Amino acid sequence: MPSSVIDRQNAEFWNELCGTAAARALGITELSPENLRRFDEWYMTYYPYLEKYFRPAEIQGKRVLEIGLGYGTLGQVLALRGCRYHGLDIAANPVAMMRYRLSLLGLEGGPRVHVGSALDIPYKASTFDCVYSIGCLHHTGDLGRGISEVHRVLVKGGKAIVMLYNRHSFRHMIFLPALHLRNLLLGRYKSQDGDTGFAKWVRAWYDKNQKGEAAPHTDYVSRAQARELFRGYTRVRIESQNFNDVVYKGKVLVPREPLLNNLGRVMGADLYITATK
């Protein structure tokens, strides 16, 4: 599918802020400062390893672009850590959320948060010291182009911090195929939309909206593919992070926290790529 079509589909799909299901589970119905604080606290506790990629010393005083804003937690972390923050998202609502957050914090920078595509970043070459893109580029339909756009807008020596879904995760390689097979064999297949196509079912398992619809496009990459995609950068570090609770019949058998530092580091759901131009 042409990337312009995927851009249009993404602009519509992601207008429902990603994180909406979690916010509802927290009982959040309105976007008061207190509710945003509660959401952010949940988010940063649920993904404890994120702190490592957002160290104040690496952010302060830098020109930073964030691509893919979602509920705005990470954008707020960046803005509060003293960088010159810029935000970009294909959908209008994440942009509105980020501007709202900046205004609540009394920070300037709203006009530096824009609607636009990662595939055609609306900045000149060599504009940023850091580009953050967590969980976004794999939705664009053209990872190679997104990653070379990030490279283009970075200064020499600048850093990209990118999270992409791990093709060789426990979730992707073992858990979801086993669950799918079990559902098929037992004849009690249940997908969000009654479609038993595995790829679409997996896509919805990763990212779905409140209607149960899957994100328009998702890529999953191995470490080797990530290395190849980032070949234009001088230094590349790839780390596996994130793991799910082990659940049986709706009960949590093993909570995810103790798994984050072992299984999560080997077959985690996400790859964090830190690449220097």
Ligand X SMILES: C[S@@+](CC[C@H](N)C(=O)[O-])C[C@H]1O[C@@H](n2cnc3c(N)ncnc32)[C@H](O)[C@@H]1O
Binding site for ligand X (CB under 6 A): 7, 10, 14, 18-19, 67-71, 74, 88-91, 94, 117-119, 134-136, 139-140, 207
- Residue closer to ligand X by CB (options 80, 254) is 80
- Residue closer to ligand X by CB (options 78, 238) is 78
- Residue closer to ligand X by CB (options 100, 189) is 100
Contact 36, 43 (CB under 8 A): no
We find the least distance from the C-beta atom of residue 181 to ligand X, in angstroms, to be 27
- Residue closer to ligand X by CB (options 7, 129) is 7
Tell me the two tokens of residue 275. Answer: 């690449």
We find the least distance from the C-beta atom of residue 8 to ligand X, in angstroms, to be 10
Q: Report which residue's Cβ sits closest to ligand X.
A: 70
- Residue closer to ligand X by CB (options 44, 246) is 44
Beta strand 235-241 pairing with 246-248? unpaired
User: How far is the C-alpha of 185 from the C-alpha of 11, rounded, in Å?
Assistant: 37
Residue 139: name the closest of 178, 94, 171 by CA. 94
We find the least distance from the C-beta atom of residue 88 to ligand X, in angstroms, to be 6
Contact 139, 209 (CB under 8 A): no
User: How far is the C-alpha of 260 from the C-alpha of 77, rounded, in Å?
Assistant: 22
- Residue closer to ligand X by CB (options 246, 260) is 260
We find the least distance from the C-beta atom of residue 111 to ligand X, in angstroms, to be 18
User: How far is the C-alpha of 3 from the C-alpha of 142, rounded, in Å?
Assistant: 7
We find the least distance from the C-beta atom of residue 43 to ligand X, in angstroms, to be 7
DSSP β-bridge partners for residue 275: 160, 236
Q: Which residues lie closer than 8 Å to 23 by C-beta, 6 or more apart?
A: 17, 35, 39, 71
We find the least distance from the C-beta atom of residue 256 to ligand X, in angstroms, to be 17
Tell me the two tokens of residue 195. Answer: 């479609």
Contact 76, 39 (CB under 8 A): no
Name the amino acid, one letter, at 81. R
- Residue closer to ligand X by CB (options 4, 261) is 4
We find the least distance from the C-beta atom of residue 67 to ligand X, in angstroms, to be 5
- SS3 state of residue 210: coil
